Structure 1
């Protein structure tokens, strides 16, 4: 009798536990679906201690920048708007971009519109002599090594990257920027250390968008890590940048708020 009683109790407990187990499985499934749910549109905010770009100190003051974009379901295609402004109001930028990534290759085109030095800038003005825009087209390949290596080439194909021809007219300089970025160290907690070096040049002339002669214009180290603040993950990065052509260097800190 005791054996039958024990069996009955066990069966009853098993039946009672089934709804709980089903609820737990359902909750886990819902959480998984929530994590993997496709969001075609998104926006991101970053704060920077200052702003550096390809060896330029674009802003000495802290800035905030926002990226509003659309991304395809497989993540390969992205297009959007990127804008930044310094806290002291001296730096202002509003860009459009499109990029496509497949099998390690990334192709991108940016309409970069830094109008900080153009107080009366016309957003729709693309004339060589007066525009605040320049169009930057690039291709990059990420080698799938244990410590990834990325090689990129960018060319300014239109806009305010110009020179004066012999006939006195303005011509496009088509300045190029080539960069190698090598991961030196990484761990399983999204921390890594990169070393990078980039050079600027233009075919057929010494002066280019990045300097007065072909030279290394951007070299240094970038360290990335995630900070945990009350269960909130905050990606941050620190970059030490050196520009041998302009003989300058600086340190930038970036925090990706969301």
Structure 2
């Protein structure tokens, strides 16, 4: 009888210890999830590029580094920050400000783009459209949540150095537009994907625009994204083959997201 009683006590103790361990494991898991999902309102990212291409322009032939310092809302929908880049040979310099808002597939953004590479005496606070190094780019995009996502975007330069001189001698904004279609052709569970994109530049009522001398396709090509693992360190990289029918140029860019 005593043996049965002792066995019952032992079983009860084992069950209790098992429940305690499960509770501890559950608590540890919850703490781990909280750590992973901890909200960080401010962050910074660093990228290295073999050269720099943007909307069909080869902005820098030399390798560049760029930094994104930003604030992001808790739900991730609103972001505002500063973006800056410089080439290793010192020929390219840029310092931008931006805000963006994303909701249900839609993204609205405004960028103050200040590439002052060709403005040796650039005044950061000069917004006179005849002499400024800035231009203000406003855009809207929608991402279709297909199995292979499709993204449509439209950007318009609303102020700054996108100008022309009218017949009366006065300077006016050209309001150049850039429209792009980006389609994912293939992706896997290891964060690898292949995109194809086509972008055109034009201005209403004018042949010449910010992106070229004629309304035309200015940016097209393929981008391959891959999560490269080096000694357990994940390094997202992207390779883009870009062709510009308007500029009659093409090039290959490699981007590495350091952090």
Paired residue secondary structure (1:13): helix
Secondary structure at the aligned position of 2:213 is classed as coil
- 1:124-145 per-residue CA deviation (whole Å, 9 max, x = no partner) reads 0011111000000111111121
Q: Give runs of aligned pairs for residues 195-234 of structure 1, distance below 5 A.
A: 195-234=196-235
Instruction: State the distance in 1 between where 2:4 and 2:252 align.
Output: 75
Q: Distance in 2 between matches of 1:13 and 1:230?
A: 41
Q: Distance in 2 between matches of 1:249 and 1:3?
A: 84
- Partner Cα distance (1:205, 1:151) in 2: 24
Unaligned segments of structure 1, at least 5 residues: none
Q: 2:108 maps to which residue?
A: 107
- Looking at structure 1, the residues matched to 212 and 52 of structure 2 have their Cα atoms a distance apart, in angstroms, of 18
Query: In the alignment, which residue of structure 2 is the partner of 1:177?
Result: 178
Query: Which range moves more in the overlay, 142-151 or 16-25?
Result: 16-25
Q: Secondary structure at the match of 1:24?
A: helix
Q: Which residue of 2 aligns with 1:22?
A: 23
The secondary structure found in structure 2 opposite 1:117 is coil
Which residue pairs with 1:71 in the alignment?
72
SS at match of 1:9: helix
1:244 is matched with 245
Secondary structure of 1:11 counterpart? helix
The alignment partner of 1:6 has SS state of helix
Question: What TM-score, normalized to structure 1?
Answer: 0.96
Q: Distance in 1 between matches of 2:178 and 2:229?
A: 36
Q: Which residue of 2 aligns with 1:13?
A: 14
Going from structure 1 to structure 2, the CA distance change for 1:229 and 1:6 (only over 3 Å counts) comes to farther
1:13-52 residue pairs with structure 2 within 5 A?
Answer: 13-52=14-53
Give the whole-Å Cα distance in 2 for the aligned partners of 1:3 and 1:249: 84
Change (3 A) 1:16 1:108: same
Is 1:192 the equivalent of 2:172? no
Q: 1:19 offset after TM fit, Å?
A: 3.9
Residue 63 (structure 2) aligns with: 62
SS at match of 1:210: coil
Matched, 1:94 2:95: yes
Partner residue of 1:253? 254
- Corresponding pairs, count: 258
User: What secondary structure does 2:16 align onto?
Assistant: helix
Q: Distance in 1 between matches of 2:17 and 2:217?
A: 71
The CA RMSD measured in Å over matched residues stands at: 1.3
Can you list the C-alpha shifts for 1:130-183, whole angstroms capped at 9, x where unaligned? 100000011111112111111111010111111111012211111110000001
Cα displacement string for residues 103-132 of structure 1 (whole angstroms, at most 9, x for unaligned residues): 111111100000011111000001111100
How far, CA to CA, are the matches of 2:22 and 2:145 in structure 1? 41
Q: Which residue pairs with 2:167 in the alignment?
A: 166
